[in-house]
Amino acid sequence: MNLLLCVTVVLVSVEYSFGANILGVVPTPSVSHQVVFWPLWKELSLRGHKVTVITTDPMNNAKLQNLTEIDLHSAYQFFNLNIFQVTERPMFEIMYDYADILSNMLDHILTNDEVQHIIKDDTTHYDVVMVEAFHTAAFAFASRFKCPLILLSSLDGSSFAYREIGNPAHPILHPDFMLPFHNELTFTQRLASTGNILFTKFIQKYFFLPPQQKLVEKHFGTGYPMIEDIFKNYSMFFVNTNRFLHPIRPLLPNIIQIGGGTHLQKRAILPENLQNVLDNARNGVIYFSLGSNVKSKHLSDDTRLEILETFKELPYTVLWKFENENLPNISENVIISKWFPQQDVLRHPNVKLFITQGGLQSLEETIFSHVPIIGIPVMADQMSNIANAVSKGLGLSLDYKNIRKEDFKSAILTVIQNPRYRSKVKEMASLIQDQPETGLHRAVWWTEYVIRHGGAPYMRNPGIDLPWYQYYLLDIIGFVLLISTVVIFVTVVLWKTAVKVNRVFKHYVKVKVT
């Protein structure tokens, strides 16, 4: 008995000794950006690691004693936007303002007393820093603690990010997820996708990175590497994608796909009143939500009226996530609420259709619940997400700027009444789930791999250290063109000389004969 106790103590001590100190930084004030990483923080803390997370949406799980969350929900003040109005503005203006918002928001976060304590504390060391890839000034945490950097994205990686780290991002084969392109691109789309490379490079260099570099100097101090250099020395990049729902692209070995329902939670009991509504909906239920960032209350009056008139003519119960207490002209079959437990609503067998903006997490939730969609994309990756989903037969898409009752009603009835849409959704869910390990398992394993080995610099693409003209073989092409030009020039000169000599010789022979 004493021997068994000693062995247990030794094993516990060994496990504890391997516990690492992990710092996570996910500053985006959006639940959809946070929930993807909740399971990762939970699992790492349960495995004995001490995890500190700077977040706008803490889990507040008292059972996770190894998890410390710094609550910066106050950052939401910077993202209180009417997305419909924002999308109407010129793209250059949008990107300029977005860069300003990101800078002000991150300045607010880094000014926080608890965050400042982390930066200035010389008694604590972190074994790895995990940072959301959108917030470049936060990369400086890795330099501050001289530890490996793991990049995180609750979406796919941007084409700019992929190119910066040497991962193939062909503008035609792999257009940026912010572009509403899919499958074979037209010439105009190919031109736009190629031009997007130059546009994003310009925006990053002159609008995004300079204020972020100033934040590094302001909050961390001078003498830090340039953000681009910290970025290129990353160890891993966790992207929330999977090979079935997203377009196929080549990935470096240190770019890890963690998608496939990583954020999905276990089934929970619905509130009694909501459970009764779902159970008693004889004809079925339509669930309508534009997510947490795009708000239904900001829809134009005309669009909202078209939607309400459509719902009035349908035999289904409609659950609409609507942010105001009241909605004029609402019909009896429509129930509004500022919040619904979306995952568990979609799991109810009476739900026939999900009308969604096309956020990635919402798409995964509806696929795993076997519910087809009508996509109404508004911003960011929503356009490409919906285009991809529609191409795979998961539903239909509508333009929010041109919603008309006849078209809206026709789309709803088509998706609900045609069984092939639900069948395609079930098929997609089966494909995503049929894999040897979950995205969460991959994320945990590779995080601990980086900790065990103190980083993974050998997995970087050596191409990112090459000058751009060497990477694109311009020096080789130039050399070949130069040699070819010289050979052609010499050949032409010799040929002309030979022709001239031949003429002179013939003339000489002719004169001599005469």
Residue 428 token pair: 């997609």
State which fold the 272-433 domain adopts: Rossmann fold (3.40.50)
Is the pTM higher than 0.85? The answer reads: yes
Residue 275 backbone dihedrals phi, psi, to 5 degrees: -60, -40
Q: Which residues contact 5 (CB under 8 A, 6 or more apart)?
A: none
Looking at the DSSP bridge assignments, the partners of residue 286 are: 318, 353
Residue 167 backbone dihedrals phi, psi, to 5 degrees: -90, 135
Q: From the CA atom positions of the chain, what is the Rg in Å?
A: 29
Q: Which residues contact 427 (CB under 8 A, 6 or more apart)?
A: none
Q: Which residues contact 242 (CB under 8 A, 6 or more apart)?
A: 257, 259, 260, 432, 439
* Backbone torsion region of residue 80, taken as left when φ is above 0, otherwise alpha when ψ lies between -120 and 50, otherwise beta: beta
Per residue of the chain (514 residues), what is the pLDDT tens digit?
444 444 433 343 344 446 899 999 999 999 989 999 999 999 999 999 999 999 999 999 989 999 999 999 999 998 887 777 777 777 777 777 888 888 999 999 999 999 999 999 999 999 999 999 977 899 999 999 999 999 999 999 888 889 888 898 888 888 888 888 777 889 999 999 999 888 888 888 888 899 999 999 999 999 899 998 898 889 999 999 988 888 888 999 999 999 988 899 889 999 999 999 999 999 999 999 998 888 888 898 999 999 999 999 999 999 999 998 889 889 999 999 999 999 999 999 999 999 999 999 999 999 999 999 999 999 888 998 999 999 999 999 999 999 999 999 999 999 999 999 999 999 999 999 998 999 999 999 999 999 999 999 888 888 888 887 888 889 999 999 999 999 999 999 999 898 888 887 777 776 666 6
Residue 435: helix, strand or coil by DSSP? coil
- Give the whole-angstrom CA distance, residue 311 versus residue 317: 9
Determine the length of the chain: 514
- Give the whole-angstrom CA distance, residue 333 versus residue 315: 8
Q: Which residue from 155, 354, 394 is spatially nearest to 257, judged by alpha carbons?
A: 155
| Residue whose tokens read 């490379």 | 197
- Give the whole-angstrom CA distance, residue 155 versus residue 279: 34
The CATH architecture that domain 18-262+438-465 belongs to is: 3-Layer(aba) Sandwich (3.40)
Residue 160 token pair: 């700019």
Q: Which residue from 248, 259, 208 is spatially nearest to 231, judged by alpha carbons?
A: 208
Q: Which residue from 155, 113, 134 is spatially nearest to 25, judged by alpha carbons?
A: 134
